[in-house]
């Protein structure tokens, strides 16, 4: 399949996924205890005020009618207005989504910078002290909960040393990256351990392949063999792993953004769930589903570039 055909096919697959997730999140949101009216007015509101607000917001209609209106809104690209923030949902997500995308992208870059060279060293020095040391250090990061690592980094590097801000989001690009470095590092530590272990195993497997022995018999330099032949083939499985963990990174961003007070969609999702903000919960879930699907598409394209056999 050509790249254009693959892109078209993947984009078409997003449509049924989008609809299925839309139905699921519509049902699950309404299974939450309470409703937006109770969250907005509180327990001491009169029945008259509650009924009037429910009628204004359309929650007095049947579930089937609400679902039909929800589907019609999706078809128009209109997700309604937030019941908690009182602004259009598209505007709210448009302000928060770039923050989370930047955070997860930065975390992926940091994880790759840590994992790729160290996995290479661990594989070349397999079953020797550098290999044991690298795997032991990464195992600590893999075993530590994300929120605990975030609190430690926040305490040491932000509160004590004051090298990084405690939270928030900057204005310029450099300032934004500076604010997001600690949250991204928190996400990257466990993710880099997964990448390192996978890439190390892949490199060890490729080193025993026949084409590597053939390259050695041709007299190619060890550096050329390792970087041009071994690393490129070993990266195919690692690229797949990175793509599959796109959803996990976004899930980890929910905790990380809450710990570091980052104004992204992860923190927005938590706040919206507590506020029973149905329009935001529904729209965020759908948008994140599309983002993960696009991440899978990019993963497939990178795999095709590394190994043309994937396209066949």
User: What is the set of domains in the chain, with CATH numbers?
Assistant: 17-76 (no CATH), 94-311 (1.10.3720.10)
Choose among 88, 257, 268, 285: nearest CA to 180: 257
pTM summary value: 0.80
Q: Are 151 and 234 in contact (CB under 8 A)?
A: no
Q: Are 74 and 286 in contact (CB under 8 A)?
A: yes
Tokens of 256: 């990380």
Average pLDDT for runs of 10 along the chain of length 312 = 68 78 80 68 66 70 79 78 82 88 89 88 84 84 77 84 78 81 87 86 79 71 73 77 77 80 84 82 85 79 67 54
According to the model, what pLDDT value does residue 68 have?
82
CA distance 168 to 166: 7
According to the model, what pLDDT value does residue 45 have?
63
According to the model, what pLDDT value does residue 46 have?
66
Residues in the chain: 312
Query: In sequence order, which residues have a C-beta less than 8 Å from that of residue 223 and are 6 or more positions away?
Result: none
Q: What is the dihedral of CA 33, 78, 62, 55, to 10 degrees?
A: 80
According to the model, what pLDDT value does residue 50 have?
66
Q: What is the dihedral of CA 15, 16, 17, 23, to 10 degrees?
A: 110
- Residues 28-55, buried b or exposed e (16+ Cβ, 10 A)? ebeeeeebbbeebeeeeeeeeebeebbe
Q: What is the CA radius of gyration of the chain?
A: 24
Q: What is the DSSP letter of 33?
A: S
According to the model, what pLDDT value does residue 306 have?
66
């Amino acid at each position: 399949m050509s790249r254009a055909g693959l892109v078209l096919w993947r984009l078409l697959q997003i449509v049924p996924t989008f609809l299925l997730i839309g139905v699921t999140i519509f049902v699950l949101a309404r299974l939450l205890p309470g409703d937006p009216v109770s969250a907005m007015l509180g327990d001491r509101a009169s029945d008259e005020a509650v009924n009037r607000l429910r009628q204004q917001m359309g929650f007095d209609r049947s579930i089937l009618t609400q679902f039909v209106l929800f589907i019609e809104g999706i078809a128009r690209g209109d997700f309604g207005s937030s019941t908690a923030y009182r602004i259009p949902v598209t505007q709210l997500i448009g302000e928060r989504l770039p923050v989370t995308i930047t955070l997860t992208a930065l975390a992926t870059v940091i994880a790759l910078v840590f994992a790729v060279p160290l996995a290479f060293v661990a594989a070349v020095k397999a079953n020797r002290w550098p290999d044991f040391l690298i795997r032991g250090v990464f195992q600590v990061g893999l075993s530590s909960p994300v929120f605990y690592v975030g609190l430690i980094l926040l305490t040491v590097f932000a509160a004590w040393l004051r090298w990084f801000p405690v939270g928030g989001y900057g204005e310029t690009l450099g300032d934004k990256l500076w604010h997001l470095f600690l949250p991204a590092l928190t996400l990257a530590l466990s993710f880099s351990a997964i990448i390192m272990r996978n890439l190390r195993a892949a490199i060890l497997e490729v080193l025993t392949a026949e084409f590597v022995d053939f390259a050695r018999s041709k007299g190619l330099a060890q550096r050329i063999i390792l970087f041009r032949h071994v690393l490129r083939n070993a990266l195919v499985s690692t690229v797949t792993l990175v793509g599959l963990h796109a959803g996990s990174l976004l899930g980890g961003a929910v905790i990380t953004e809450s710990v570091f007070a980052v104004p992204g969609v992860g923190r927005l999702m938590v706040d919206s769930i507590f506020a029973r903000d149905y329009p935001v919960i529904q729209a965020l879930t759908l948008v994140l589903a599309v983002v993960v699907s696009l991440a899978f598409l990019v993963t497939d394209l990178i795999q095709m570039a590394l190994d043309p056999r994937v396209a066949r």
